[in-house]
Structure 1
């Protein structure tokens, strides 16, 4: 069975900040979800993140703690986030691949995580027989609200 082990919701100033290289809503949501689940960023094996713009994916990778600040672009460039990389991200192709279906993004992300954990993602399946923990991250508005849901196969 697949269980929801952590949920976090965060809010913040969105785009009304001086530093646009981070979303405080993502950081707050991640902190809550990690605390509820008892997990750390390194325990998350893969994730669907809100990539409304290319830079948003990289920023979220850092804010979720998957990579250090300023290292998300390098991790992506080096293939660490590819399907066969150590931290696959957006195995579904991401929001832009789907036409960024506002209102349906969160459900689509959770569905992809669920399919991956069940081993039913076909050509998108992460090649890891021990896949157990995935996350879905969704951002709303101008970056002022965020959720992070962590699923675990037991």
Structure 2
């Protein structure tokens, strides 16, 4: 038995007949294996978040494609100093809503880096400013000229 978020929860694998008996010992993982599993779980969490907040954009997108996008968003966000999972989720959302273009907008990059607050908080503020501006029919200075899909 094992838990698989990708497969929708708990799963059971039946042992095929004819296999030799497995040695009776504890299952052991190396630190590297645990690190890989933890990273994948975090990436699955970001992908699940995106599927909730961007349902139309993620409908029908295969999980491996989503995970590749999340890895790209994580690398891009960490390069900008975004360190928390909440910050990475927000950054991935902004990347998705701008077709990845926001990471190349100098004003947006500068906005994330400026101020007394960490980039994680700045990305949250950027989403808030953007949502407010879109509701009011205007753009946010860091995003002027950048086409942004309506935020939900």
More strand by share: 1
More helix by share: 2
User: If you compute each CA radius of gyration, which structure gives the higher value, 1 or 2?
Assistant: 2
TM range (shorter): 0.3 to 0.5
- Bigger relative contact order (CA 8 A; separation at least 6): 1
